[in-house]
Chains A and B, each alone.
Chain A
């Protein structure tokens, strides 16, 4: 569970998040949508401890990301938008490094299982520097989910993936028991996997509702998105 209260984040004169409140409950998949620069990635980065914030409160399973950072970070798995990793390590070495930091005991079996499932197992002993964008994405996804985190934060999770792997990732997200937050531009992905959706505009929440309710009302998430844009005079 992730609770965010009155969160504000500014970059100089630009306000990326403006006193926003979120309540990401367990057993639900939340989608965060919005135009470029709306504050989606900033929100995820703050929740993972990568970015600091100006004011407000962020709690991951009751641990403050600010004061109990290590405990809070134990409870999350994160996939960045453009995952950069250590080019000189092999995929396997990178995953074992992350597994060591996360103290995963049966890492070997878990890594083998996930990487076989998403189709990267045969490339695990090559240096990451020689990987394509999609291969890096698969390694990064493995590192995000291998400790079975109760809170999963995914920034454009199917970006750069082939349709088969994309489908597998979507199925995986649907089966998640904890909290899952997805920042995405893909309305199709939201329709497929999300239970709830937030739409952000210039650091503020302009829409929060159930996906099935919105689908009933507007027919598709794409229509919902455009309707929301019109309503907010974008």
Chain B
């Protein structure tokens, strides 16, 4: 009874424990950040309750945010535990009905997601009590619980039907989500939960065609790698081909443009939106700069930290290619790092959009901050990516790098702003800082070369 569920849960649990054993510092940082994030959310709730601001965050907004997060999580989990793994062939070929096996996989995802929800919501409630905020909202909490359950149902059925040959099976889910969007009422989500459950049951019964969905063969027309190049160029072209085919460049450009627009808007109107009139004269001194800083940080995390880590972490199973061919570690690392130049170009929309709001006089500082943040993020991410090559702890690393980046860039942004405003020929000193960061990046690339040398692959014999 529930053998598949037990196996999935045990496997996930052991995988997590092994990863913690392998990289305890990384997981400590990650846990710290998660703890801090919940604390910040609690403080935000406290702030918005105590301070009267024009920004009106309703409980419905929070409800749908939680709903969306759990829907995405369960969709990803369903992919990782059902669509992708080859070892599922064993349980699917036993005398146990295949629908039951898929249901058990869903059940394990359900249990793990609900566990996460209860841990975080309890922590959040405890923090609210500390601040002290009235937490007696039993009906709302019940709604949130049902919302999370419904999100798990919908997320799971989205994955099952998305990878099916018959994608029209997604239509009921799309209609349901469309109604959620129009109504924007948690009550509607709660009342339609039985419908989400029915659709999930039906999806599970018809789920086998989705298993190990084989990518359709498509002939690739553009040929980027059909000439002999130097090792650095060959590595560069290989990496950009992979990024291009994964459509990551488009997503970088889109994120840069949206962040640029959002940051610019908050730069001009953020204080009016968030700060009460009486306090505005205090906050307006630094709030616009803070928005620019956060905007730059978001763009850098998405277009630099993420690809820098992915360049190395994705080499999990292909390390044999690099290690048996005559390419030295330094050339390999430089070849991969040059890909980041192209990723940097995708941040131009950020500069273009933000310049509309901040004006040309502030553009030098914004561009400098973006460039130096980009280089520093590469300085942190590349050695970490090399150290953890093949370990696939990318989410953990992403969070850890974000935290370190935040700590380093905060004073640096302040120093840059101070130099530009108060020092004669400030632009020269900013350029000097930029140059120093490039030198540091080069030195860290050399250090990374040594790190890659020390990496011994896991034994498989």
A residues with CB within 8 A of B: 11, 16, 37, 39-42, 45, 48-52, 70-71, 73-74, 76, 78, 80, 83-86, 88-90, 92-94, 96-105, 107-108, 125-127, 129-130
Query: Could you jot down 6 A-B contacts, CB within 8 Å?
Result: A39-B461, A41-B460, A93-B224, A100-B225, A100-B233, A102-B326
Taking the closest CB of chain B, its distance from the CB of A159, in whole angstroms, is: 15
B residues with CB within 8 A of A: 214-220, 223-231, 233-234, 237-238, 241-242, 245-246, 317-321, 323-328, 456-457, 459-461
**A74 CB contacts on chain B under 8 angstroms:** 326
Inter-chain residue pair count (beta carbon < 8 A):
120
Taking the closest CB of chain B, its distance from the CB of A133, in whole angstroms, is: 11
Contact B220 A105 (CB under 8 A): no
Contact B228 A100 (CB under 8 A): yes
Q: A130 and B225 in contact (CB under 8 A), knowing A89-B241, A98-B321?
A: no
Q: A101 and B326 in contact (CB under 8 A), knowing A11-B459, A50-B319?
A: yes
**B226 CB contacts on chain A under 8 angstroms:** 92-93, 96, 108
Chain B residues touching A, majority SS? loop
B461 partner, pick from A41, A85, A101, beta carbons under 8 A:
A41
**What residue in chain A is nearest B456 (Cβ atoms)?**
A52
Q: A126 and B319 in contact (CB under 8 A), knowing A73-B326, A86-B238, A96-B225?
A: no
**A103 CB contacts on chain B under 8 angstroms:** 228
Complex Cα gap A2–B288 (Å): 66
B457 partner, pick from A37, A39, A51, A71, beta carbons under 8 A:
A51
Complex Cα gap A129–B216 (Å): 9
Contact A129 B215 (CB under 8 A): yes
**What residue in chain B is nearest A40 (Cβ atoms)?**
B461
Complex Cα gap A97–B242 (Å): 13
Contact B234 A100 (CB under 8 A): yes
**What residue in chain B is nearest A71 (Cβ atoms)?**
B326
Contact A101 B215 (CB under 8 A): no
Contact B459 A104 (CB under 8 A): no
Contact A92 B223 (CB under 8 A): yes
Contact A51 B456 (CB under 8 A): yes
Q: A88 and B325 in contact (CB under 8 A), knowing A50-B457, A96-B226, A101-B234?
A: no
**What residue in chain A is nearest B245 (Cβ atoms)?**
A88
Complex Cα gap A24–B237 (Å): 37
B326 partner, pick from A51, A70, A126, beta carbons under 8 A:
A70
Taking the closest CB of chain A, its distance from the CB of B70, in whole angstroms, is: 29
A48-B324, A70-B327 given; name 16 further pairs at CB < 8 Å. A42-B459, A45-B461, A48-B320, A50-B457, A51-B456, A73-B324, A76-B324, A78-B324, A89-B241, A92-B223, A93-B241, A96-B228, A97-B225, A101-B327, A108-B226, A127-B245
